[in-house]
Amino acid sequence: MNNISIKIAGPAGFGIKVTGQILAKVFLRLGADVFAYTEYPSLIRGGHNTYQIDISDTDVSSPSEKTDILIAFTSEALSKEINNINNEAIVICDEKITLDSRLRENDKVVMAPLVEIAKNAGGELMKNTVALGLLLKILNLPLEKANEVLADTFGNKGEVAEQNKKALKEGYEWTLKHLNTKTLKHLNIFLNSLKLLKDKNNDGLLITGNQACALGAIAAGCQIYSAYPMTPATEILHYLEAKQKITNMIIHQGEDEIAVIHSALGASFAGARTACGTSGGGFALMTEGLSLAGQLELPIVIFEVMRPGPATGLPTWTEQGDLSFVLTAGHGDFPRAVLAPGNPADCFKLTQTAFNIADKYQIPVFVLSDKFLGESAYSISAEIFDKIELIDRGRIIKSLKQLNTKTLKSDTSEIFARYKLENDGVSWRTIPGVDNGEHMCSSTEHNENGLRCGEYICNSDEHNEVGFSDEVNEVRKKMVDKRQQKLIELQKKIPLPKIYGPADAEMTLVCWGSMLGPCLDSIKIQEYKNKKINVLHFSYIYPLPNSLDKFLKEFKKLVLVENNKTAQFGKLIRQEIGLEIKDKILKYDGRPIWKEEIIREIEKLKN
Amino acid sequence: MSSQKFTPQFYTTSYLPTWCPGCGDFGILAAIKNALSELQISPHSIVIVYGIGCAGNMNNNIKCYAFHSLHGRTLPVAVGVKLANKNLKVITVAGDGDYYGEGGNHFLHTARYNADILSIVCNNRLFSLTTGQSSPTSEIGMISKTTPYGEIKQPLNPIALSLAAGATFVARGAAFEIPHLTDLIKQGLEHKGFAHIDVFQQCVTFNKTQTVEWYKEKIYKLEEAGHDTNNFKAALDKSLETEKLPIGVFYETEKPSYEDGFEQLQGKPLVEQKTNYAKEELMKEFM
Ligand SMILES: Cc1ncc(C[n+]2csc(CCOP(=O)(O)OP(=O)(O)O)c2C)c(N)n1
Ligand code: SF4
């Protein structure tokens, strides 16, 4: 794997992200595989923001621990990043900033009049575009691609577009005039790797996990998305809000997360495909609604995009710390499903699956991701987004005609039983407006047909309902069993985790959700050393597949990789199948696990 | 009346109410069924979202699509129902503890959204299902299980709050004035936007202070007092009266409802529409 890592660093408000995105797209359009990772504190101005782009000739799905090229806009940015650059790195900064004494002799520092050139082009703000131009020439990349992306970003006409174009060109020319790129050691390696790109087709898209989840929801026919802003889940809300005129979705920003989930449930009851989304803190508020969904047997999809807790924690950083919470949230026993995609392709696919599971089993389903997956941009093939799963709304009755053709009538003698005890635990449900299916969606315990003394005639316009409050012991027991049966049925359908890498591995990295990328990239580093390591990735977290215990016995040595302190997934495995994975690589400093770290930890485990 | 398809009895389920004899909730139940009948609203197009409490226990008693939600959560559920299917008549029924206490935030905001929902609050000034504790509308000095030495917190003013929050139909009724309450509910149902009816409800078991007799001495009807229901300031003034207690419509006005603000909902209700996955168009920005 040939890899270059470029980082842009500076305070918030310097346009770090926009510049990074433009550069990432230039590489994408050149046919490269790109991974873009951002770090930023929870503030609007100042602080230390970075946008890191890893470019590769093969799949890349995680950031490198250290970068080869650093663009630092301020002295502070430079000193904060100085320990994160590789040996012989290229450092680009403005000529006026104070250099850090920790720079090594063989680091190539390019001090350019970024601000001055930007001012000439139209304004200091464009120093990032100047730096971009400068870098493009250093890497010997054509200007056209960058101009294309600039035009897509700032438009074709107008002052801003013109100025940026000028800034880009002048940056480029500065390198041409002032820099002997031949003296840049290591550059040849970069350039060689870039040459490889030329053979690749470029139908690539650069997309974040959050965006892919949002697209998955649209493709799944989700009609209402209900949310309250909370980083790092907010991008889903922003995206869907912005697209509502195209998608025809209703996006509801509720007054708090309690309202958000209850509105989603109201809409689900009324027959709409519905989702809500938040991060851990907001989900804490949703838990009573989750329990309500369990009792009402209403389908709902919940996006939980994790960030480090407890409490407000680290709002803009990453962790897989809410798994245990999501698994047990909500009072009482009721079934749920938890899916954790490993990359945007998975986000798109599993989100659609989540909606189908929710409808089919009439249960709440989680799509569990985190800041790392949610906000990092991955390059993936556009074809992924052609793969649409057939929408399965499950046992839903939307018209009187449909109701009459169901077997309900004969089974229950003219009574529509919303919570009828079917063998698989899933009952038919009607939706309001259907004039023969009035029922009560009751959060207190209800009996099966509730209408022992009811007078409901199926064929007429007038009807009785089901779901009367009932506290009889047998009814209670049957209802609990009915609901739990759905989990048993679902479990039969859950696929085994996916194996990546050699089949006959000596060691297997066990991971879930977003840690797929770092694990995959780490075994690629290892490939060169011919180590027999593979990756076992779980995206179906709960319920776990039936034959998992047997399946896991086939592996020689399991090493658990999780982005949290207490190995929450490891605990789940132990709880469900009694297997303890003793060797663990755990990280919980708000950053994802770097592939290099995984290798170092593996080496330690071997000793 | 006999020619009507939906008589009040039509909305009656086989499940008998579980309230104490003499409970004000009987009167509210009757008024709701009367109003539905008088407007001839078919049960399948009604969704009533119930809270938790004695009032919420009405969930078993009206034939329609019922959603028995959680304590305090009737309104957000109702908002979701309405967004999904704007053609439904959406009503909430909850107690004062549920609606003004646990659900207070939802009350303020749903009023502000002006969602097309009718809220009926069975206000007995106590938590009754939990056997008599102080509620947000208990008067200072009220003796209850949680205020054995008398309530020391101020009660909130539901009508003034509702007006301030932006409700577009604000009324007060009494559980023992059934024809009057029926009329208010009818008006609330016909109102487009957020309608809020606070109902004086006697709790014969736990509230020995605000009894029917106590109320009867204090109440008077706004419509008989020449109150102008389009005058916001006059409505606010009326809401602040404490010696005599006005019932009737305090305020009504026309404003676009929340659902109507969505371009997507100008035609069919959402449940009858399809989400459009316009792949080509959506992909452009990621290239
Ligand atoms: C979240 C939650 N907290 C507390 C309760 C217990 N609880 C049930 S009913 C009730 C109070 C009911 O009072 P109110 O809403 O005024 O209705 P009422 O019984 O007076 O009609 C409470 C506190 C609950 N069910 N859920
Ligand atoms: S306790 Fe009070 S509110 Fe509850 S049913 Fe009895 S009288 Fe009605």
For residue range B7-65, list pLDDT tens digits in order: 999 898 888 999 999 999 999 999 999 999 999 998 888 999 999 999 999 998 998 88
| Ligand 1, CB cutoff 6 Å, lining residues | B 52-55, 71, 95-98, 122, 124, 126-130, 135
Which of B121, B128, B209 best tests ligand 2's pocket when mutated (most atoms within 8 Å of CB)? B128
The two tokens of residue A14 are 């310097």
For residue A202, what pLDDT is reported? 63
Of the candidate ranges A96-100, A542-546, A572-576, B79-83, the one whose mean pLDDT is the lowest:
A96-100
Calculate the CA dihedral of residues A414, A418, A420, A425 and round it to 10 degrees.
150
How far is Cα B283 from Cα B45, in angstroms, rounded to an integer? Answer: 39
For residue A462, what pLDDT is reported? 24
The two tokens of residue B264 are 């997507």
- The number of angstroms, rounded, from the C-alpha of A392 to the middle of its chain's C-alpha atoms is 23
For the beta carbon of residue A102, count every other beta carbon within 10 angstroms: 11
For residue range A19-46, what is the model confidence (pLDDT) as tens digits?
A: 999 999 999 998 889 999 999 998 888 8
Longest C-alpha distance within chain B, in Å? 74
For residue A404, what pLDDT is reported? 56
Report the relative pairing of strands A204-208 and A377-381 from DSSP bridges: antiparallel
Higher per-residue pLDDT: B106 or A157: B106
Pick among B7, B81, B259, B265 to test the A interface (most A CBs inside 10 A): B81
How far is Cα A107 from Cα A78, in angstroms, rounded to an integer? Answer: 13
Domain boundary assignment for chain A: 3-202, 207-382, 400-491, 498-606
For residue A186, what pLDDT is reported? 58
What mean pLDDT is predicted for residues B244-265? 98
Band (pLDDT 50/70/90 cuts) for residue A472 is: confident
* CB A425, CB A485: distance < 8 Å: yes
Three-state secondary-structure class, residue A174:
helix
**Domain A498-606 class, CATH top level:** alpha beta
Q: Would B109 be classed as within a structural domain?
A: yes
- The number of angstroms, rounded, from the C-alpha of A314 to the middle of its chain's C-alpha atoms is 18
Residues of A in contact with B59 (CB under 8 A): 440, 442, 469
Which among A246, A256, A436 has the least Cβ separation from residue B278? A246
Asked whether the CA dihedral A159, A160, A166, A167 is positive or negative, the reply is: positive
How far is Cα B33 from Cα B61, in angstroms, rounded to an integer? Answer: 10
In the block, residue with structure tokens 């709790």 = B203
For residue A466, what pLDDT is reported? 65
Tell the CATH topology of A207-382: Rossmann fold (3.40.50)
Q: Would B64 be classed as within a structural domain?
A: yes
The two tokens of residue B118 are 């009718």
The two tokens of residue A422 are 């079917």
Pick among A251, A418, A435, A465 to test the B interface (most B CBs inside 10 A): A465
Which among B73, B81, B282 has the least Cβ separation from residue A215? B282
For residue range A437-448, what is the model confidence (pLDDT) as tens digits?
A: 666 555 444 433
Band (pLDDT 50/70/90 cuts) for residue A223 is: very high
Q: Would B240 be classed as within a structural domain?
A: yes
- Whether A380 has a pLDDT exceeding 90, the answer reads yes
Q: Report CA(B102)–ligand 1 centroid distance (Å).
A: 8
Residues of B in contact with A403 (CB under 8 A): none
The two tokens of residue A581 are 């994975």
Residue B129 CA: nearest ligand 2 atom is 4
DSSP state of B144: B
Three-state secondary-structure class, residue B61:
coil
Are B276 and A454 an interchain contact pair (Cβ–Cβ within 8 Å)? Answer: no
| Ligand 2, CB cutoff 6 Å, lining residues | B 19-20, 23, 25, 54, 124, 128, 203-206
How far is Cα B195 from Cα A112, in angstroms, rounded to an integer? Answer: 66
* CB A342, CB A516: distance < 8 Å: yes
For residue A531, what pLDDT is reported? 77
For the beta carbon of residue B272, count every other beta carbon within 10 angstroms: 12
Asked whether the CA dihedral A584, A588, A590, A596 is positive or negative, the reply is: negative
Three-state secondary-structure class, residue A563:
coil
* CB A268, CB B269: distance < 8 Å: no
For residue range B215-228, what is the model confidence (pLDDT) as tens digits?
A: 999 999 999 999 99
Q: Would B5 be classed as within a structural domain?
A: no
Which among B44, B68, B78 has the least Cβ separation from residue A440? B68
For residue A450, what pLDDT is reported? 33
Are B70 and A465 an interchain contact pair (Cβ–Cβ within 8 Å)? Answer: no
Q: Would B199 be classed as within a structural domain?
A: yes
For the beta carbon of residue A144, count every other beta carbon within 10 angstroms: 10
> What phi and psi values does residue A397 have, to the nearest 5 degrees?
-110, 115
For residue A435, what pLDDT is reported? 63
How far is Cα B51 from Cα B94, in angstroms, rounded to an integer? Answer: 5
DSSP state of A23: H
β-bridge mates for residue A500, sequence order: A535
> Which residues, 6 or more positions from A392, have their beta carbon under 8 angstroms from its beta carbon?
A356, A359, A360
Residues of A in contact with B64 (CB under 8 A): 438, 465
DSSP state of B221: E
Three-state secondary-structure class, residue B223:
helix
How far is Cα A242 from Cα A181, in angstroms, rounded to an integer? Answer: 43
Q: Would B264 be classed as within a structural domain?
A: no
For residue A195, what pLDDT is reported? 63
Longest C-alpha distance within chain A, in Å? 92
How far is Cα A142 from Cα A136, in angstroms, rounded to an integer? Answer: 7
- Round the average pLDDT of chain B to a whole number and report it: 96
> Quick one: what percent of chain B has pLDDT higher than 70?
99
- Whether A297 has a pLDDT exceeding 50, the answer reads yes
How far is Cα A509 from Cα A507, in angstroms, rounded to an integer? Answer: 7
Are A388 and B277 an interchain contact pair (Cβ–Cβ within 8 Å)? Answer: yes
On whether the A3-202 domain is CATH 3.40.50.300, my answer is: no
What mean pLDDT is predicted for residues A91-111? 89
Report the relative pairing of strands B65-68 and A300-306 from DSSP bridges: unpaired
Q: Would B125 be classed as within a structural domain?
A: yes
Band (pLDDT 50/70/90 cuts) for residue A293 is: very high
Q: Please give the tally of structural domains in chain B.
A: 1
How far is Cα A49 from Cα A43, in angstroms, rounded to an integer? Answer: 10
- Whether A436 has a pLDDT exceeding 70, the answer reads no
For residue A403, what pLDDT is reported? 60
> What phi and psi values does residue B90 have, to the nearest 5 degrees?
-115, 125
For residue range A577-603, what is the model confidence (pLDDT) as tens digits?
A: 999 999 999 999 999 999 999 999 999
Are A219 and B277 an interchain contact pair (Cβ–Cβ within 8 Å)? Answer: yes
By alpha-carbon position, which residue is closest to atom 6 of ligand 2? B20
- Round the average pLDDT of chain A to a whole number and report it: 89
Q: Closest-lying ligand to the alpha carbon of B208?
A: 2
Residue type, position A223, single letter: Q
Residue B108: CATH number of its domain: 3.40.50.970
What mean pLDDT is predicted for residues A264-286? 97
* CB B205, CB B129: distance < 8 Å: no
Q: Which of B28, B53, B22 is nearest to B211 (CA)?
A: B22
How far is Cα A105 from Cα A109, in angstroms, rounded to an integer? Answer: 9
For residue A407, what pLDDT is reported? 43
For residue range A169-209, what is the model confidence (pLDDT) as tens digits?
A: 999 999 999 987 766 655 666 666 666 565 565 689 999 99
What mean pLDDT is predicted for residues A143-152? 93
What mean pLDDT is predicted for residues B57-86? 94
Q: How open is the CA angle A511-A517-A523, to the nearest 5 degrees?
A: 80
The count of residues in chain A is: 607
For the beta carbon of residue A557, count every other beta carbon within 10 angstroms: 14
Closest CA of chain A from B247, distance in Å: 30
Q: At what angle do helices A209-219 and A234-247 cross, to 10 degrees?
A: 40
Range of the domain at B57: 15-259
For residue range B133-143, what is the model confidence (pLDDT) as tens digits?
A: 999 999 999 99
Which of B74, B130, B144 best tests ligand 1's pocket when mutated (most atoms within 8 Å of CB)? B130
For residue B261, what pLDDT is reported? 97
Which among B66, B87, B270 has the least Cβ separation from residue A465? B66
> What phi and psi values does residue B183 have, to the nearest 5 degrees?
-65, -40
A3-202 with A498-606: one CATH topology?
Answer: no
Q: Report CA(A541)–ligand 1 centroid distance (Å).
A: 36
How far is Cα B168 from Cα A592, in angstroms, rounded to an integer? Answer: 50
Three-state secondary-structure class, residue A366:
strand
Which among B77, B270, B282 has the least Cβ separation from residue A263? B77
Which of B59, B98, B205, B209 best tests ligand 2's pocket when mutated (most atoms within 8 Å of CB)? B205
- CA within 13 Å, CB half, A378: 28
DSSP assignments along B194-221, one per residue: -EEEEEE---TTT-SSS-HHHHHHHEEE
- Whether A469 has a pLDDT exceeding 90, the answer reads no
Higher per-residue pLDDT: B53 or A527: B53
- CA within 13 Å, CB half, A353: 20
* CB A548, CB A496: distance < 8 Å: yes
Q: How open is the CA angle A575-A578-A579, to the nearest 5 degrees?
A: 110
* CB A419, CB A427: distance < 8 Å: yes
Q: Which of A294, A244, A254 is nearest to A278 (CA)?
A: A254
Closest CA of chain A from B112, distance in Å: 10
Q: Which of A99, A140, A123 is nearest to A15 (CA)?
A: A123
For residue A465, what pLDDT is reported? 37
- Residue A559's region, left for phi above 0, alpha for psi from -120 to 50, else beta, is beta
Helix (H) or strand (E) holding A38: strand A33-39
The two tokens of residue A201 are 């087709």
* CB A266, CB B78: distance < 8 Å: yes
Q: Which of A221, A322, A234 is nearest to A273 (CA)?
A: A221
DSSP state of B15: S
